[in-house]
Structure 1
Amino acid sequence: MRYPALLWLVLIAASAQAAVYTYVDANGNRVFTDQPGKGAERVPMPTRSGTSAPATATPPRTGKVAVPSKSTVMRYQMLRILGPLPDTAVREEDGSLIVTLTSEPALQPNHRYRLLLDGEIAQAPGRSPVFALSNVDRGTHTLAAEIIDQDDHVIERTPAQPVHLQRISLIQKRRVHPCRTADYGVRPECPLKDKPEDD
Structure 2
Amino acid sequence: MKRWLLIFSLATLPITAMAEVYTYIDKQGNRVFTDQPGHGNAKRVPLATSNRMTANPTGAAPVTAAEKTAEPAPFRYDMLRVLVPEPDATLRSSAGELIVSVTSEPGLQRGHRYRLLLDGKATAEPGPSPVFALSNIDRGSHNLSVEILDAQGRTVERTANQPFHMLRISLAQKRQVKPCALTDYGQRPECPLKDKPPEEKNPFFRFF
Tell me if both proteins adopt one fold, taking TM over 0.5 as the criterion: yes
Q: TM-score range by the shorter chain?
A: 0.5 to 0.7
- 2:88 maps to what in 1? 87
Are residue 181 (structure 1) and residue 182 (structure 2) matched?
yes
Q: Render the CA deviation track for 1:46-99: whole Å, top value 9, x for unaligned.
A: xxxxxxxxxxxxxxxxxxxxxx57454211122111221211112234322121
Q: What TM-score, normalized to structure 2?
A: 0.56
Task: Tell me if the contact between 2:114 and 2:127 (Cα under 8 Å) persists in the aligned partners.
Answer: yes
Aligned to 2:116: 115
Structure 2 unmatched runs, 5+: 1-68, 201-208
**Which of structure 1's runs of 4+ aligned residues deviate more than 6 A?**
none
Structure 1 unaligned residues grouped into runs of 5+: 1-67
Quote the Cα distance in structure 1 between the aligned partners of 2:194 and 2:129.
Answer: 44
Cα deviations across residues 155-184 of structure 1 (Å, max 9, x unaligned)?
111111110012221111111222233544
Alignment correspondent of 2:133: 132
User: Whole-Å Cα distance in 1 between the matches of residues 199 and 107 of structure 2?
Assistant: 62
Distance 1:160 1:141 in 2: 9
RMSD: 2.5
CA distance in 2 between partners of 1:124 and 1:179 (Å): 40
Aligned length: 134
Tell me the TM-score normalized by structure 1: 0.58
Percent of aligned pairs sharing the same letter: 58
Q: Secondary structure at the match of 1:136?
A: coil
Quote the Cα distance in structure 2 between the aligned partners of 1:72 and 1:152: 16
Q: Note if contact 2:94-2:171 (Cα within 8 Å) is conserved in structure 1.
A: no
Which residue type is aligned with residue 142 of structure 1?
Answer: N
How do 1:18-167 and structure 2 match up within 5 A?
68=69, 70-167=71-168
